[in-house]
Structure 1
Amino acid sequence: MGTQWSDAAIMRSNGYTVTTSLHYDALFPMLALNRFDYFPRGLYEVWNEAEVHRDEGLRIEKNIMLYYPAPFYFFVNKKDVALAERIERGLKMAQEDGSFDRLLLSFPWFVRGMQEQKNSKRKLFVLDGPAAQP
């Protein structure tokens, strides 16, 4: 996983051994060279990445799925309160009028991920998410 990814800390706190790289693009050849056994990807990421890296001899695992909460954040300058409030207001408006879902569902790889959540052939491993910040 990426060295600074919160996912790496989540995996470690759940007892997994984690191999990291400073560079995202290095992770795919590292996996192909057996530096680690698997590379967990988000359901909205894996299908597109599998296509991009199709010539590297990698495949999507078909029998398991990991789940842990992984929120998305928007970072703005702490002095730009108005921008932060505008982003939050815009996202809430998009959720309320349905345009948020329409946007996500316009991406085939996102739709595929949503469908895969219903795949009853996969064993689901539920991991603890990030600890609450003090």
Structure 2
Amino acid sequence: MLRARFLASMLAAGVAPWVRAEAAPLRFVYPRVNDQGEEAFGFQGLRLALQKWGRPFELLLAPTSTNYRRSLYQLETGEIDVIDMGTSRAFEARFQPVHLPVDRGLSGWRLLLVRAGMVPAFRAVHDLAGLARLRAGQGQDWPDTQLLLAAGLGVVSGSDLPTLFRQLQAGRFDYLPLGLNEIHGLLTQWQALAPDVVVEPDLALVYPFARLLFVRRGDGERHAAITEGLTRAFEDGSFNTLFAARHAGLAQARLAERRVLQIDNPGLSEATRAIPARYFIRP
């Protein structure tokens, strides 16, 4: 009797009971960090991965801008669902990583932002001992901080990128190392806060590193969706095509003309070290 009533109600509503309802789109909320939204490469790479996943999804930006530290809290509390950030053992214990590098390893190739008047001082730097006489700026909770300290380099922290640009302009520290894939764009974005700052022309700081997508611990559904889609995007070449289009200006880094200072990354997990070399590029 109950089954008959259920079938009758479904038919009255115009729904055939043998037709399976479509699954609701899986929702992903991505943070708006330092005023970067859809133009952030992490957002674009995530969108491509979800398109390659091939199932219904909804990708949204968080409504308000935040800083890096706050975005980590938002991920833990469920205000956002996914974030891309430089990885470390600590982050991989705290969040669930997708072990495919959305930066293709370029975040470990660092150029330096300096005040123009300090360029001669950096021209005299030829090794890590020379660089250790100067102070680096780093964001709070950036994983790079610990590896720079482990290499014997001095570090001054700031709450977010706008603060770091102001601190560099004011002489609170001497250089701000940023990935060669992002440094020119970030300087353009924040130049008004640091009018005397330029890209240092002679040095590159290099260490093993990767920027990964992370979800909350236990969020297996989103983790599986991103992993499946991003793997397909790498395998069919579409991710590399997107990456090349967004990083067409890498030649301006002039790496062949720079003195390269290499340091280790003791905070890199074994799982990250095990990512196959084909996912990385060497500029």
TM-score, structure 1 normalization: 0.87
What is the aligned partner in structure 1 of residue 255 from structure 2?
A: 119
Shift of 1:117: 5.9
Gaps of at least 5 residues in structure 2 are: 1-137, 271-283
- Could you tell me which amino acid in structure 2 is paired with residue 63 of structure 1? D
2:211 maps to which of 59, 62, 72: 72
Question: 2: CA distance between counterparts of 1:19 and 1:83?
Answer: 36
Question: 2: CA distance between counterparts of 1:10 and 1:123?
Answer: 20
Question: Which of structures 1 and 2 has the larger relative contact order (alpha carbons within 8 angstroms, sep 6+)?
Answer: 1
Greater CA drift, 70-79 or 118-127: 70-79
The answer to whether the 8 A contact 1:69-1:130 is kept is no
SS at match of 1:18: strand
What is the aligned partner in structure 1 of residue 166 from structure 2?
A: 29
The answer to whether the 8 A contact 1:47-1:112 is kept is no
Q: Which has the higher strand share?
A: 2
SS at match of 1:79: coil
Shift of 1:98: 0.8
Shift of 1:37: 0.7
- Could you tell me which amino acid in structure 2 is paired with residue 71 of structure 1? A
Question: 1: CA distance between counterparts of 2:253 and 2:235?
Answer: 24
Root mean square deviation, CA, Å? 1.8
Percent identity, please: 27
- Is 1:12 the counterpart of 2:136? The answer is no
Q: How many residues align?
A: 131
**Aligned CA distance change for structure 1 residues 130 and 116 (closer, same or farther; 3 Å):** farther
The answer to whether the 8 A contact 2:209-2:268 is kept is no
Tell me which structure has the larger Cα radius of gyration.
2
Question: 1: CA distance between counterparts of 2:216 and 2:141?
Answer: 20
Question: 2: CA distance between counterparts of 1:57 and 1:132?
Answer: 34
- Could you tell me which amino acid in structure 1 is paired with residue 226 of structure 2? I
TM-score, structure 2 normalization: 0.43
Gaps of at least 5 residues in structure 1 are: none
